[in-house]
Amino acid sequence: METSLAAGYALRAEPPPVDDYVHLRTAAGLRPKSTAEARAALRGSWSCCHVVTAAGATVAMGRVIGDGGWYFLVADMATEPVHQRRGLGSVVLAHLLADIRQRAPGEPYVTLTADDAGRRLYAQAGFTPFTADQTGMQLVLRRG
């Protein structure tokens, strides 16, 4: 897994600006979120980082939601489409996992939801599918 950035990029070990978070989610094909949702999500993160260009544009990001004890969820892994295939996602994921290793006690349990585009990246980092007796499930609570 890539751990160093290509020339012209810098990793920032902090949440991206809210407007950049909202834009990057949409640009990368993730479900759009409002500014209020973005603020709450970033504030509730256990760990965050983002990648910027030399001009300061946010082009990749990721975050971890966690209880600080043993359970952690990698979320919002996103790279601006024109900056994909440059190892940015690998660097973001490596940073987040290193932060968990360094700060979490014991043997942390890390999960994520992978789409087809991300499976290779996550497998390279050591993630494996759940066992046959486990099923990923979701519930989106709708208003109204």
pLDDT tens digits in sequence order for the chain, 144 residues long? 667 898 999 999 999 999 999 999 999 999 999 999 999 999 999 999 999 999 999 999 999 999 999 999 999 999 999 999 999 999 999 999 999 999 999 999 999 988 888 889 999 999 988 877 777 777 777 877
Q: What is the CA radius of gyration of the chain?
A: 15
Domain with 44, as residue range(s), is 9-124
Q: Let me know if residue 135 belongs to a domain.
A: no
pLDDT at 114: 85
Q: Let me know if residue 142 belongs to a domain.
A: no
Model confidence over 53-86: pLDDT tens digits? 999 999 999 999 999 999 999 999 999 999 999 9
Distance (Å, whole) CA 57 – CA 3 = 20
Q: What is the CATH number of the domain that holds 44?
A: 3.40.630.30
How many domains does the chain divide into?
1
**What is the rounded (10 degree) CA torsion for 90, 15, 128, 114?**
-90
